[in-house]
Amino acid sequence: MSPFLTPIRRALALGVLAAAIAAGIALAVGGCAGSSTKNIAQASTRSLPFQTIFEAQSELTTDPGPTLDQLKRLGVDDVKVFMPWGSIAPDPLSRKRPQFDASSPGAYPAANWTTYDSIVRDAAARGIGLDLALEAPAPLWATGPGVPAGTASSFLGSWEPSAKQFGLFVAAVGARYSGHYKPPGASTPLPAVRFWSIWNEPNYGQQLAPQAIDNSTVESSPATYRSLLDAAWSALQSTGHAGNTILIGEVAPRGETGPGLPGNFSGMVPLQFIRALYCVDSSLKPLQGDQAALRGCPTTAAASKAFPADNPGLFQAAGFAFHPYPQGQVPPNVPTAPGDLGADYADLPQLGALQRTLDGALEAYGSSYRFPLYDTEFGYQTNPPEKILRAISPKQAAYYENWAEYISWRDPRVVSWDQYLLADPPPPSMFDTGIEFASGDPKVPLFQAFRMPIYLPVTAAKSGHDLEVWGCVRPAHYAMQGPHAPQFATIQLQSTTGGRWVTVKRVLLTDAYGYFEAPVDFPSSGNVRISWSYPHHGEKIHSRTVQITIR
């Protein structure tokens, strides 16, 4: 068991305590209502908690406090914030390195920290966790030579970034957010950051290049990422973050294969990237000889034996992060590309393949550790506003998103759910995955689906037989921490002929994050929803509706 799972153990302990308290309450009140509205305690069927991560980068950087208030009302546990190396570094567009102590936070331009300091302070004040993702682009003075002529300026910062210089940068960030650093003029230290992601989508050429060399026959980005990770890991350990949640991977879900691919700037299929990262072949056996040397891997038995100790982040990280983005019209349980083409993908239907690859890679070096998997990017492109083929209606996206979250929740290795973005980018945009339009208006029912997901694995039954209702009252996470516990989810039914909604069961929430499963004997066909009221002001909210058939 990795020593870096402390935050997960803490959350799990809170969930168990909440379940025990709630079970006692349920026993006390269970006989106060008829069987159709009986209060029930639902013990979580998961061994690890399932937290919510949200990405609203543009809103957080321009208006952090109000944005965090909104995300807390939605029940978000953690926000993921990207910190591009070049946004902090001095003279990032110069090829000549400036003279400064890159490991000292005070040596960087003070104004470059301002936005991030505000987010860190505001998140801590609201009790919201912060996943700080340290990523490309690198300042040009920290990139390698030989970038191809004509390369777009937006790609230049991904070309062979220096691991040594990245380690110094991470040391500066780690020191600044250690909980002990007081910026000049400040009366109190900045809050500590205890959740980190190392780089972003390193199997994607716009983030790390080149991806492959020698006519794409040799993977090169995994070795570069391995060096970046080693440097970042050492820097975080040395600046007081040894017990933190540190995520590695952050892999994009798909990639390109074929002659000349992925080349410099295209995407490598993620499982191929992982195998080269861990220096194993397609059978998950350690590479040997020239094949190992070409990929920066151990070439002797002694070096292979030392590989885990030489690369502790690869074997001791708190979790492996992945971005299981869907492809629109395809349901979340259907492979995007069946057969050989999709065999090395890491989207949601390929969870098993991702786990087998990671497990086999670690086993090749004698490790029995099983990485928790963190979903740190997910979302559906919608029409409106996008008109491309894979964009789907907000209603369809709401259904698929709840289905995908249910699939993830059912897998005990997956420990987080992510939403990317809050609002769509201003038009023209090419990635409109927000739960709000660019105007700020909610995408109903996608907004509802995130705030309070509902999914029924089966939607038809004979009379007198239960249907399973799975759901989550996401905002109840914060209500359960205060004096407002216990909290209940109300399952309601509206007949097929319409009319008022009738409560058929009240579920006592015992999971620390608001998740539950409840068997329900519905009296008739109709529409099902979950209802809940905020305890502070009484606003009642609802999930999307699901149609059921009782025969």
- 509: pLDDT strictly greater than 80: yes
Let me know: does 45 contact 515? Beta carbons within 8 Å: no
CA–CA–CA angle 530, 534, 539 (5° rounding): 85
- 213: pLDDT strictly greater than 50: yes
Task: Report strand pairing: 454-455 vs 467-472.
Answer: antiparallel
Let me know: does 229 contact 248? Beta carbons within 8 Å: yes
Which pLDDT belongs to residue 329? 83
Query: Residue range 521-528: average pLDDT?
Result: 97
Let me know: does 240 contact 298? Beta carbons within 8 Å: no
Q: In angstroms, how far is the first alpha carbon of the chain from the final one?
A: 49
More confident position, 479 or 280: 280
Which pLDDT belongs to residue 42? 60
Let me know: does 404 contact 326? Beta carbons within 8 Å: yes
pLDDT band at 181 (very low <50, low <70, confident <90, very high): very high
Cα distances (Å, whole numbers) of residue 315 to 243, 292, 369, 521: 15, 19, 8, 47
Query: Residue range 366-372: average pLDDT?
Result: 98
Concatenated DSSP letters of 512-527:
TT-EEEEEE--SSSEE
Cα distances (Å, whole numbers) of residue 314 to 9, 75, 147, 302, 370: 21, 32, 28, 18, 12
Which CATH entry fits the domain spanning 3-43+454-550: 1.10.1160, 2.40.50, 2.130.10, 2.60.40?
2.60.40
More confident position, 33 or 493: 493
> Which residue from 82, 364, 480 is spatially nearest to 250, judged by alpha carbons?
82
pLDDT band at 44 (very low <50, low <70, confident <90, very high): low
In CATH terms, is domain 77-377 a member of 3.40.50? no
Record the tokens describing residue 343, joined without a space: 């065999």
Task: Determine the 3-state secondary structure of 507 from DSSP.
Answer: strand
pLDDT band at 165 (very low <50, low <70, confident <90, very high): very high
Let me know: does 33 contact 272? Beta carbons within 8 Å: no
- 19: pLDDT strictly greater than 60: no
Record the tokens describing residue 123, joined without a space: 């998140």
Record the tokens describing residue 275, joined without a space: 């195998």
Which pLDDT belongs to residue 488? 94
> Which residue from 215, 221, 201, 204 is spatially nearest to 160, judged by alpha carbons?
221
Q: Which are the contacts of 302, defined by CB distance < 8 A and separation ≥ 6? A: none
Which pLDDT belongs to residue 301? 95
Which pLDDT belongs to residue 314? 98
CA 44 remoteness from chain centre: 21
Which pLDDT belongs to residue 485? 74
Task: Determine the 3-state secondary structure of 374 from DSSP.
Answer: strand
% pLDDT > 70, the chain: 91
Let me know: does 212 contact 219? Beta carbons within 8 Å: yes
- 1: pLDDT strictly greater than 90: no
- 182: pLDDT strictly greater than 70: yes
Please count the helices (runs of H) and the strands (runs of E) in the chain: 15, 20
Beta strands in 161-276 (DSSP E): 195-198, 212-213, 218-219, 245-251
Record the tokens describing residue 520, joined without a space: 């329900």
Which pLDDT belongs to residue 335? 85
pLDDT band at 41 (very low <50, low <70, confident <90, very high): low
Let me know: does 21 contact 485? Beta carbons within 8 Å: yes
Which pLDDT belongs to residue 108? 98
Measured distance CA(183)–CA(181) in Å, rounded? 6
Measured distance CA(551)–CA(549) in Å, rounded? 6
- 290: pLDDT strictly greater than 50: yes
**Average pLDDT of every residue of the chain:** 91
- Read off the pLDDT of residues 232-248 as tens digits, 9 standing for 90 and up: 999 999 999 999 999 99
Beta bridge mates, 196: 132, 246
Cα-atom radius of gyration of the chain, to the nearest Å? 24
Cβ-based neighbour number of residue 508 at 10 Å: 23
To which residue do tokens 């013990």 refer? 43
More confident position, 136 or 6: 136
Domain ranges of the chain: 3-43+454-550, 77-377
Measured distance CA(279)–CA(518) in Å, rounded? 45
More confident position, 47 or 497: 497
- 63: pLDDT strictly greater than 80: yes
Record the tokens describing residue 234, joined without a space: 């050492």
Measured distance CA(550)–CA(520) in Å, rounded? 12
Task: Determine the 3-state secondary structure of 288 from DSSP.
Answer: coil
Helix %, strand %, coil % of the chain (to 5): 35, 20, 45
Query: Residue range 526-550: average pLDDT?
Result: 95
Which pLDDT belongs to residue 546? 98
> Which residue from 447, 445, 472, 451 is spatially nearest to 527, judged by alpha carbons?
445
Q: In which element (H, E) is residue 135 found?
A: strand 129-135
Give burial (CB, 10 Å; 0-12/13-18/19+) of 91. middle
- 48: pLDDT strictly greater than 50: yes
> Which residue from 188, 187, 167 is spatially nearest to 179, judged by alpha carbons?
188
Task: Report strand pairing: 373-375 vs 414-420.
Answer: parallel
Measured distance CA(342)–CA(254) in Å, rounded? 8
Which pLDDT belongs to residue 29? 29
Identity of residue 134: L
Let me know: does 46 contact 516? Beta carbons within 8 Å: no
Which pLDDT belongs to residue 347? 94
